[in-house]
Structure 1
């Protein structure tokens, strides 16, 4: 026996209205269509659901028993339809995001706050890992979206690259804080805070100072831009920052200035290569890409 939801909906409407005419109006169907569905349902069930009495349909004892199950089934179908709509609208689901700390600490929570504002049934797991760890873990395929510094092996993930131009951060009392643009000539011999020498920006800065014949005096190396920014805020030295970190900390305790020649820094938004992103993941990807776009050049 295979029943369908149209038959059950028809039965529910007749139980509520008492006549096929009223049930047809409720369901926006013709009266013959309602009668046909009722007849087919009774045939499949093998027992009568109604008896006619003075133009009305009176439920049988069997109908009352079956009504409870029919309502439960229709409620389940309605719930399934609601869930499907919530999933389709990106308002239900689970999202796993892994990111390097530079955007995981402040920027991503801001974007996630915006994303989750009208999605109370969505849960997100945000993990912060170094870009090296992210690149090693990507083939395991346990994330929905990743954000990593480049380069990334695009044979195991789909990469949307973004290129940033780095800036310099200084304490407001630094003697160069009033300069509109910083250069190797101006920073000659100044105390400097940089990310580790393995980082792409380290090499670029070393080449920029060497090309200008100026001294690049690094007194502190950190693993992340976030720590370099904190050092600059405390007057340790001039720090190189990506523009996202700089924007998150711009204010009274720090001065942000451009640097020439330009120091480039690349990150990528990553999606698993061997499976289609969920609707929820695609919606967050679009929002994230849009929020990072103003920093990219």
Structure 2
């Protein structure tokens, strides 16, 4: 018994004649008759009494008809689901992002690209960049967005895509420093600064940048992430060198009430982001779709912020780049 036979059988059961059943199916009468005969032979049971051109179902045919309705309806549902899966509109999606983007930018993006949340088994979490790297290595996520790992190297467990973008100076809107853009790094000599933890690559790059220009990097506030630093900037306690997505986030949320402004630097202090994807975890079509759209959205966000983004091949990155 196969789907073609069952489809022909249901059509005959719901039609007044073989010819009507054939029209419903878009098949010829002989093809429908052959399907019915083949079905009867496979079952070892006559399903119809032939009375001239009429096909009169026997009692057993009514039982099979009830079962065939469920089978064909289920098949139709599976077909619709598979087409939806192929179109990237349904399926499983397990993604994560580091705390800054995970607070607003990343979930807003995911919400915008998922058409029907009832058709998606979604898990979206916030993790540290190191935790995201471990999740990718253990094949536990579809993809993660984080700071580029401190040591960029080939991995047999995950693929890495890196986008680099220029950083900004965050300062109070009332600050008396020149309103120039790009902003001169020399204007920050000895100025109270907020920064990240010493082990963070961005902090190391900032310290090195000041040293290269013979400037004093005077850090007075230390934070694990950028967003808390903006509250100290807002109240005039310090300035900060921040990544461009923090700029995008703040301009969207206005957590400082517009009391913090951002200026591009006149030197190439860049921040490296990474998209990590496990290599041994088959991705659903929706995971492929969301990851692809995130690449485009991320680049556009950074470009609109004036951060001059660029995708970086691994070989082009300097030793110890990333965070």
User: In the aligned structure 2, how far is the partner of 1:48 from the partner of 1:179?
Assistant: 90
Deviations 1:186-211 (A, max 9, x none): 12222211111212222222222222
- Aligned-pair distance for 1:16? 0.9
Matches within 5 A, 1:95-174: 95-151=93-149, 152-155=152-155, 156-174=157-175
Aligned to 1:222: 223
- Aligned-pair distance for 1:214? 2.3
Aligned to 1:7: 5
- Aligned-pair distance for 1:284? 0.7
Aligned to 1:246: 247
SS at 1:266's partner residue?
strand
Q: Spell out structure 1 runs of 4+ moving beyond 3 A.
A: 117-120
Matches within 5 A, 1:182-197: 182-197=183-198
- Aligned-pair distance for 1:28? 0.5
Q: Residues 180 and 118 from structure 1, CA distance in 2 versus in 1: closer, same or farther, beyond 3 angstroms? A: same
Q: Residues 234 and 287 from structure 1, CA distance in 2 versus in 1: closer, same or farther, beyond 3 angstroms? A: farther
Aligned to 1:181: 182
Higher RCO (CA-CA < 8 Å; seq separation 6+): 2
1:293 matches 2:294: no
- CA-atom RMSD, angstroms? 1.8
- Aligned-pair distance for 1:31? 0.7
Q: Residues 177 and 225 from structure 1, CA distance in 2 versus in 1: closer, same or farther, beyond 3 angstroms? A: farther
- Aligned-pair distance for 1:275? 3.1
Aligned to 1:50: 48
1:235 matches 2:236: yes
Q: CA contact under 8 A between 1:181 and 1:259: conserved in structure 2?
A: yes
1:64 matches 2:75: no
Q: CA contact under 8 A between 2:18 and 2:32: conserved in structure 1?
A: yes
Q: CA contact under 8 A between 1:228 and 1:240: conserved in structure 2?
A: no
SS at 1:221's partner residue?
strand
SS at 2:10's partner residue?
helix
Q: CA contact under 8 A between 1:271 and 1:277: conserved in structure 2?
A: no
TM-score, length of structure 1 as denominator length? 0.93
Q: Residues 123 and 53 from structure 1, CA distance in 2 versus in 1: closer, same or farther, beyond 3 angstroms? A: same
Aligned to 1:275: 281
Q: Residues 7 and 230 from structure 1, CA distance in 2 versus in 1: closer, same or farther, beyond 3 angstroms? A: farther
- Aligned-pair distance for 1:5? 0.7
SS at 1:69's partner residue?
helix
User: In the aligned structure 2, how far is the partner of 1:98 from the partner of 1:235?
Assistant: 34
- Aligned-pair distance for 1:177? 6.7
Aligned to 2:305: none
User: In the aligned structure 2, how far is the partner of 1:234 from the partner of 1:121?
Assistant: 46
Give the total of aligned pairs. 295
Deviations 1:250-296 (A, max 9, x none): 25232111012121111211110223322111111101100111322
